[in-house]
């Protein structure tokens, strides 16, 4: 069975997932690692010394608990238009 023979909603979902992966590969959408790295580097307590303090760790985990919320800013940064 080719993609053209699939029900339209399934074919659209596959194409959307492939576009998401392509956007991740090109940097349009951040990877999980780059998302976390950007969060740490942007944290006010980070001193560019490669050390992640307890406060940074706490704030990172707190932010990550919001990723399943549809109105989460972090979710939109991590997933872009796919949030």
- 3-state class (DSSP) for residue 6: coil
pLDDT of 50 reads 93
pLDDT of 6 reads 82
- Ordered by start, the domain boundaries in the chain are 30-83
- In the CATH hierarchy, which top-level class contains the domain 30-83? mainly alpha
- Residues of the chain predicted below pLDDT 50: none
pLDDT of 2 reads 78
Half-sphere exposure at residue 22, Cβ-oriented, CA atoms within 13 angstroms: 6
pTM: 0.83
Q: Hey, which bits of 1-83 come out as E strands?
A: none
């Amino acid at each position: 069975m080719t993609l053209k023979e699939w029900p339209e909603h399934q074919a659209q979902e596959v194409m959307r997932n492939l576009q998401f992966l392509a956007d991740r590969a090109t940097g349009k959408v951040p990877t999980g690692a780059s998302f976390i790295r950007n969060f740490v580097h942007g944290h006010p307590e980070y001193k560019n010394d490669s050390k992640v303090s307890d406060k940074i760790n706490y704030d990172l985990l707190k932010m990550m608990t919001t990723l399943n919320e549809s109105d989460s800013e972090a979710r939109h940064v991590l997933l872009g238009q796919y949030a």
